[in-house]
Chain A
């Protein structure tokens, strides 16, 4: 079955440590995204990548880094520069659609999330 897998489900980090969250998809999707969910704040975009070896900052990229060496993988590193890293992190992917079709469907496929807690 095709899908998008995030690991680990729960992650604990000590102050000052970098941690890397894994995101893998076997949907052959071109684009991948990282979002952060905080209570009352909805989903905020951290980084996104539309193609291998290329990525762009989202709305809250400070303190985070990503890489896209393979189409299937888009790991997120939460660095010690991120002042408030405790949150629920969601990875998503989508196909590269040609706009203009009157009936195109569009949406992201999300992973099940990683809850990161700083201890």
Chain B
């Protein structure tokens, strides 16, 4: 039962254009969402996050949009650069208690290739 889905396994975008990566979730209890970037043979690194009390969060070239009614979020990268070529994972968490950590549920990832 895949609670976080990234339906596009790969995406190719011309350098300088906008990259849009999509993520859908099924668990309505998820209230915090994150994007991670992963290069081959390395661990993922945190990119950007958004709480369910917001519908947009921006950090430089990266913007995450959240549509709670559609249970959908997207990551926009603009302008896209060759160094952005990597696998991007969407992740979500649900508040299980007022204290402590929550587990992250990850999507299957989207491989982004930026074409020079």
Chain A contacts to B: CB under 8 angstroms: 4, 6, 9, 30-31, 33, 35, 40-45, 48, 50, 58, 88, 90, 92, 94-100, 102, 105-113, 115
A116 smallest CB distance to B (angstroms): 13
9 shortest interchain CB distances as A-B pairs: A110-B43, A42-B108, A107-B46, A43-B106, A31-B101, A42-B106, A110-B44, A112-B43, A111-B43
* Contact A90–B43 (Cβ < 8 Å): yes
Chain B contacts to A: CB under 8 angstroms: 4, 6, 9, 32, 34, 36, 41-46, 49, 51, 53, 89, 93, 95, 98-101, 103-109
CA distance A68 to B106 in the complex (A): 24
* Contact A113–B9 (Cβ < 8 Å): no
B63 smallest CB distance to A (angstroms): 17
* Contact B42–A112 (Cβ < 8 Å): yes
The chain B residue sitting closest to A6, CB to CB, is B43
* Contact A106–B107 (Cβ < 8 Å): no
**Which of B36, B41, B43, B46 has the largest number of chain A CB atoms within 10 A?**
B43
CA distance A108 to B101 in the complex (A): 10
* Contact A112–B101 (Cβ < 8 Å): no
**Which of A50, A58, A113, A115 makes the CB contact (< 8 A) with B100?**
A50
* Contact B108–A94 (Cβ < 8 Å): no
CA distance A98 to B105 in the complex (A): 19
**Which of A6, A9, A45, A94 makes the CB contact (< 8 A) with B101?**
A94
The chain A residue sitting closest to B46, CB to CB, is A107
